[in-house]
Amino acid sequence: MGAGEMPLDARALAGAGPDKALVASCRSGDAAAFARLVELHEGMVVNLSARLLGDPEEARDVAQEVFLQVYRMLGRFEGRSSLKTWIYRIAVNQCHNRRRFWHRRRRDREEALDEGLLVERASGTREGTHASPYEAARQGERARRVQSALLQLSFEHRSVLVLREVEGLTCEEVAVALGVPEGTVKSRLSRAREAMRVRLRDLVEEGATP
């Protein structure tokens, strides 16, 4: 079995065809194919890393490391999971390693992010809507508080929550990306959601006010 992979049932393998062709082209030394692979997945890796690390600059550095790892490890990718899920797993591992590096040197560079998707998640606004300057500032503050609360979770709980709620993976896909049983994912997800509810209780109550 390839590095970073876990067995999946037939349903998870159904969409592996395009991945297989792209990986085969990359393995043959097709530079354009690898550039296409990076183009398809770079935004996802940067966004995931930014939310897990809380530092956009570090996220871009991590993304470079992720695709270096992808390039080196493509020969061991067997298609037992989707290419996207496999890359998610590499990205999460790289973020975890980066955090351990910080802690060993007593560094804490986590900063709240003010990103459009976090604003949308926190406020319920959608792309294409136009908020007043006051509303935009209010949404930005809500987004910063959501990200700040997210960064207070353990890395394990944060990873589960971001992959499931922000990236939209199924619990099965999250389990593959993290290399843990699906039951563990559901347990961590429940605890992470409750921790966020406690930390953001006033925002939740504000959103429920008619």
CB neighbourhood size of 117 (10 A): 14
Query: Would the pTM of this model clear 0.75, i.e. be above it?
Result: no
The reply to whether 161 falls in a domain is no
Start-to-end CA span in the chain (Å): 53
59: alpha, beta or left? (left if phi > 0; alpha if psi -120 to 50): alpha
Structural domain includes residue 36: yes
Q: Per the structure, how many domains does the chain have? A: 1
Taking a C-beta distance cutoff of 8 angstroms, is the pair 2, 69 a contact? no
Q: What is the CA radius of gyration of the chain?
A: 18
pLDDT in tens, 135-189: 666 667 777 888 888 889 999 999 999 999 989 999 999 999 999 999 999 999 9
Least confidently predicted of 11-15, 28-32, 56-60, 167-171: 11-15
- Assess if residue 140 is contained within a domain: no
177 in a domain, yes or no? no
CATH of the domain at 2: 1.10.1740.10
In a domain, 25, yes or no: yes
For 177, the token pair is 């990306």
User: Domain limits at 74?
Assistant: 1-111
